[in-house]
Amino acid sequence: MKLNKSFVLMGILFLVLLLAACGGNEDSENASEDGSNEETQEGQARTLTDAAGNEVEIPANPENVIASYLEDYLVALDITPVAQWSVRDGEDVQDYLQDDLGDVPTIPSDLPYEAVASFEPDLLIMDSAEMVEGNKYDQYSKIAPTYVVGNEQNNEWRAELEEVAKVFGEEDKAEQVLAEYEEKAASAKEEINAAIGSDSAVALWLFSDTFYIVNENLSSGDVLYNDLGITTPNVVKEISGDSVQNWSEISLEKLAELDADHIFLANDDSESGSKMLEDPIWQNIPAVKKGNIYEFSGDSAWLYTGPIANSQIIDDVLESVKE
């Protein structure tokens, strides 16, 4: 009897240990399934195919990112690049982003190989295939994995945001940013319509005594006409039909035909006197006669595009027409 009891006790102990082990394995499996086991779920490199057809291995957690002229999207996604776009030896940057990028060093807009390599990037993101044409892609990819966002010279900004977000696995954040923008644009559209009705408007840029007019479907033109529903002047339609540029030079003769009721002017000549604003042709534009001129600095968001720039443009329009 004593011997039998000993076997029974040993059997019970074995059964308890077996059940405990099974339970531990089940907990481990559940942890993997619900993502709580971070070591198995995070820190994985991914391979993505970019717009140019390149298979790019994206680092698990890229920290030294260069995405020249795409900084608007990075900031919207709470990502800080290791260097930011600039021209004129770093004198000109995207000023409207400097609250977030003020401490980020600059890099020339044409991305010289030596300058890029000096920042020891672990990921390069290129705005378009044009930036890596010829053998440039091979050269850049020797420095760091290089991902091309779009094929066009000017890609649709919403799609561009989503593509950049995909690279970082931040699709949910991009969806939130877009939802907030669409809600803001829809609300502003109603307020603007109530303020100016069917009045037309145009965005102009004055630089070195030359006027440039915005494209109907690009940059701030996209915001004015597509997002806010403001009436497009005929001159804007005409010039946009013949150009793929964000901004096209407009002659004084063509400026004389500009029948806009409101003008949003990005003025780079304010420090030198803006003498073109004294020209009789300018003075005879309907918007000028009505006093509907809203002036902004040349380094404002009006010359750029992206969720942050476009949101600031909406704020500027609302503030201007509701005065």
pLDDT value of residue 85: 98
Give the C-alpha separation, 127 to 69, whole Å.
7
pTM of the model: 0.85
Residue 21 lies in a domain: no
User: Last residue of a domain, which of 169, 203, 218?
Assistant: 169
Residue 186 shares a structural domain with residue 269: yes
Residue 28 lies in a domain: no
Give the C-alpha separation, 312 to 302, whole Å.
8
Q: What is the total count of domains within the chain?
A: 2
Residue 169 sits at φ, ψ, to 5 deg, of 70, 30
Give the C-alpha separation, 32 to 41, whole Å.
8
- Output the CA–CA distances (angstroms, integers) from residue 140 to 82, 116, 204, 292, 315, in the order listed: 16, 8, 36, 48, 38
Residue 179 shares a structural domain with residue 293: yes
Residue 75 lies in a domain: yes
- Output the CA–CA distances (angstroms, integers) from residue 21 to 10, 27, 34, in the order listed: 17, 10, 20
pLDDT value of residue 288: 96
Domain range enclosing 54: 46-169
pLDDT value of residue 43: 66
Residue 299 shares a structural domain with residue 184: yes
Give the C-alpha separation, 321 to 291, whole Å.
12
Residue 294 sits at φ, ψ, to 5 deg, of -120, 110
User: Last residue of a domain, which of 123, 150, 169?
Assistant: 169
Residue 162 shares a structural domain with residue 214: no
Q: In a 3-state reduction of DSSP, which class is residue 246? A: coil
- Are 81 and 100 spatial neighbours (Cβ–Cβ below 8 Å)? no
- Are 200 and 260 spatial neighbours (Cβ–Cβ below 8 Å)? yes
pLDDT value of residue 153: 75
Please give the structure tokens belonging to residue 65: 């990112």
Residue 38 lies in a domain: no
Q: Which residues of the chain have pLDDT under 70?
A: 1-43
Residue 6 lies in a domain: no
For tokens 């070591």, the residue is: 39
pLDDT value of residue 42: 52
CATH number at residue 74: 3.40.50.1980
- Are 219 and 246 spatial neighbours (Cβ–Cβ below 8 Å)? yes
pLDDT value of residue 24: 45
Residue 164 shares a structural domain with residue 216: no
